Amino acid sequence: MRKTPVDFNTVNQKIKESNLESVGKASIREIKKLIDDIEKATEQKYIRMEMGVPGLPAVQIGIDAEKKALDKGVASIYPDIFGSYDLKNEISRFAKLFLDIDVNSDSCIPTVGSMQGSFAAFLTLNRMHPEREGTLFIDPGFPVHKQQIRVLGQDHQSFDVYNYRGDKLKAKLESYLETGKVSTILYSNPNNPSWICFTDRELKIIGDLANKYNVIVIEDLAYFGMDFRKDYSKPGEPPYQPSVAKYTDNYVLLISSSKVFSYAGQRIGMMIISNKVFKTRAPGLKRYYQFDSVGRAMIFGTLYSLSSGTSHTPQYALTAILKAVNSGEYNFIEVVKEYGEKARIMKKLFIDNGFKIVYDKDEDNPIADGFYFTFSYPGMDAEELLNELVYYGISAISLLITGSERKEGIRACVSLVKREQFPELEYRLKLFNKDHSK
Ligand SMILES: Cc1ncc(COP(=O)(O)O)c(C=O)c1O
C-alpha cells in the first residue's frame, strides 16, 4: 500500500465504485462527481481545477437591476425576441468602446448564454450554402461546441493550432478553405483551454482568408479583455480587445457574461452580427426559413424556435452592467484580474516542481496568466498524469477532449482554487515530484 496525500485505499475504492475505466479518460462532469465522492469520504479538500466556472460573486449592479425589474412586473411580459432596445443600444456602444467597431444595434442580440449564441450561429450560418458542410474549429476548443454541431447533424473539421502559429497559420487554414466545404470558422480568444491569444498578425490572416473564401468567422470572446498583459479596460481608449472584426466584415462575435461579469447562472450572452452579415441574403436559407436574410432568419427563424428570446430580467441586468461599464463607472477587468494573479502563482508552483507549461507561447511571447493554463509532467501522458494526481488531491481535465494533439497535456482552471490552498498545493506538488522524478 502506498502513502499518498489522500488515502490510497479510499481513492481506489471510490474509483472502483464510479465504474470509470480510467480517471484520465473521464469527462469533466464524471471527474467532478468522483472528486465530490472522495472529498466526502476522506473529509479532505482537493485542489479543484477541473471545472471552468466563475469563482467570483456576480456583479451586484446586475442583481439589483434584475430585482427592480421583477418588482416592476416584467416577469409576466414576453421579452422581444430580438432583445430590449436599451440592451441592444448598450451592446452596440460596448462594441464601439471596447472593440472599436461599428455595429448597428439591430445586429446586437442577447442570447441565453453564449452557448445559445453558438448553437444559433451554427444552425443558421451553416445552412446558407447547400454545397458547404459546416464549421472549421481552430482547436484546442470548448468540447460543447462540437457537441452542438453533432446534435445539429452538421459536419465539422478541426486542427490543433499548436504547430501553426504566426505565418504558418495561413497555409494551414487555406488548406481547409480551398476545399470550398467550410461555412464558418470558430475559435475562442483568449482560448479555452490553452489560454493562448491570437496576435493581430494571426487575426489578420484569419480575416483576410474569411474575405477571400467568403466564410463567416464566429469569434468566441467568452473571456473578453482577460489577456491581462494589456489593459483593455478603458472605454473608448486603445488598446482595444483584439478581434477578427478589424480585418473582415464576415463575423459574428459571441460575448459571454458568465466569466467577465460572473453572471453564469442567469444565462445571458451577446451575439454581435456584423452589419454586412446581418443584411446578407443567402438563398440556401429558404430551405429552412421563410426568409433569405441572415439577420431575419437568425432572429425570427432560429432564436424564435429555440427560446423565443432571452429571459426578461437578465436583460435588465446586462443593460445596467453595460451602462456602468460603457460610462467608465465600473471597471469589469480590474475585478477579474484576480484570476491572472492566481494563475501566475500557481504556474510557478507547477514549474518549480518539475511540471511544464504545454501551450506556453503566443508566437515569441510567453502566454498570459488567466483563467486556464495547461501543464504536463515529463515521461507521462495526460491519462497517466491525471490517474496519478488524483492520489495527490489534485483534479483537472485532459486536453485530449478539447481537440488538442498534445497527448501529455492537462488543463487547469484557477477559478475555484483559493489562495489559502496554495501552501497545500505546493506541498502536494513537491511530494508528487519527489515520488515521480527519475
Ligand atoms: C470558450 C467558451 N465559450 C462559451 C462558453 C459558455 O458561455 P455561456 O456561459 O455564456 O453560455 C464558455 C464557458 O465556459 C467558454 O469557455
Averaged pLDDT, 343-355: 98
Structure confidence by residue, pLDDT tens digits, 201-219 = 999 999 999 999 999 999 9
| Cell numbers standing for residue 257 | 457574461
The percentage of residues in the chain with a pLDDT greater than 70, rounded to a whole number, is 100
| Residue nearest ligand 1's atom 3 by CA | 222
d(CA 428, CA 185): 41
Q: Which domain holds residue 337?
A: 8-51+332-436
- φ, ψ at 373 (rounded to 5°): -145, 165
* Position in ligand 1 atom list of the atom nearest CA 192: 1
CA–centroid distance, residue 157 to ligand 1 (Å): 20
Distance 90 CA to ligand 1 centre (A): 21
- HSE toward the beta carbon, residue 435, CA cutoff 13 A: 15
Alpha carbons 345 and 132: distance in angstroms, whole number: 46
In a domain, 317, yes or no: yes
Domain boundary among 269, 304, 326: 326
User: Within this chain, do residues 347 and 377 fall inside the same structural domain, yes or no?
Assistant: yes
C-alpha angle 332/335/339, rounded to 5°?
Answer: 120
The answer to whether the CB of 58 falls within 8 A of the CB of 64 is no
Q: Does the reported pTM lie above 0.75? A: yes
The residue behind cell 473521464 is: 26
- Which residue's alpha carbon is nearest to atom 7 within ligand 1? 114
Residue 13 lies in a domain: yes
Residue 1 in this model has a pLDDT that exceeds 90: no
Contact 91, 322 (CB under 8 A): yes
Cell numbers representing residue 27 in the block? 469527462
Q: What is the enclosing helix (H) or strand (E) of 438?
A: none
Sort 411 into a burial class: Cβ within 10 Å, 0-12 / 13-18 / 19+.
buried
Q: What's the CATH number where 28 sits?
A: 3.90.1150.100
Question: Ligand 1 atom closest to Cα of 188?
Answer: 1
Asked if 317 and 337 sit in the same domain, the reply is no
Residue 46 lies in a domain: yes
Which of 49, 53, 109, 114 has most ligand 1 atoms within 8 Å of its beta carbon, as the pocket-test mutant? Answer: 114
Same domain, 354 and 420: yes
Residue 88, in any domain of the structure:
yes
pLDDT on residue 122 = 98
> In angstroms, what is the span from residue 115 Cα to ligand 1's centroid?
6
Of 326, 361, 391, the last residue of a domain is 326
Q: How far is the CA of 140 from the centre of ligand 1 (A)?
A: 14
Q: Are residues 314 and 352 in the same domain?
A: no
Report the pLDDT value the prediction gives residue 27, as an integer from 0 to 100: 85
The reply to whether 315 falls in a domain is yes
**Is residue 162 domain-shared with residue 123, that is, in the same domain?**
yes
237 and 132 both lie in a single domain: yes
Pick from 256, 318, 414 the residue to mutate for probing ligand 1's pocket: most ligand atoms within 8 Å of its CB. 256
Instruction: Give the pLDDT of residue 28.
Output: 87
- Mean pLDDT (the chain) is 96
Residue 121 lies in a domain: yes
Output b/e per residue, 38-53; b: 16+ Cβ within 10 A: bbeebeeebbbbbbbe
Residues 235 and 364 in one domain: no
Same domain, 311 and 386: no
Q: What is the pLDDT of residue 25?
A: 84
Residue 57, in any domain of the structure: no
Take atom 16 of ligand 1 and give the residue whose Cα is closest.
192
Residue 162 has pLDDT above 80, yes or no: yes
Interval between CA 28 and ligand 1 midpoint (Å): 14
- Counting other chains too, the contacts that 29-38 makes at CB distance below 8 Å and 24 or more residues apart are 31/395, 31/397, 34/390, 35/390, 35/395, 38/6, 38/10, 38/11, 38/14, 38/390
Residue at 365 is within a domain: yes
pLDDT band for position 26 (cuts 50, 70, 90): confident
Separation of 221 CA from ligand 1 center, angstroms?
9
Name the closest-CA residue to atom 2, ligand 1: 222
Residue 188 pLDDT greater than 80, yes or no: yes
152/23 same-domain check? no
Q: How many domains does the structure of the chain reveal?
A: 2
Separation of alpha carbons 392 and 294, rounded Å: 52
Question: pLDDT by residue (tens digit) across 223-247?
Answer: 999 999 999 999 999 999 999 999 9
Task: Name the maximum alpha-carbon separation found in the chain.
Answer: 68
What pLDDT score does 165 carry? 97
d(CA 147, CA 126): 15
Domain boundary among 326, 344, 375: 326
CA of 433 to the centre of ligand 1 (A): 33
Report residues whose beta carbon is within 6 angstroms of any ligand 1 atom. Answer: 52, 113-115, 142, 188, 192, 220, 222, 256, 258, 264, 269
Identify whether residues 223 and 321 lie together within a single domain: yes
pLDDT of residue 91: 98
Under the banding of pLDDT at 50, 70 and 90, the label for residue 21 is confident
pLDDT of res. 133: 85
Provide the CATH number for the domain around residue 284: 3.40.640.10
Q: How far is the CA of 248 from the centre of ligand 1 (A)?
A: 23
Indicate if 77 and 139 belong to the same structural domain: yes
Give the span between the Cα atoms of 7 and 13, in whole angstroms. 10
Sheet holding 251-256, edge to edge: 108-111, 269-273, 251-256, 216-220, 182-188, 134-139, 155-160
Domain shared by 138 and 168, yes or no: yes
Task: Kindly give the distance from the C-alpha atom of residue 222 to the centroid of ligand 1, in angstroms, as a whole number.
Answer: 6
pLDDT in tens, 316-343: 999 999 999 999 999 999 999 999 999 9
Q: Which of 258, 272, 336 most suits a substitution to test ligand 1, by most atoms within 8 Å of the C-beta?
A: 258
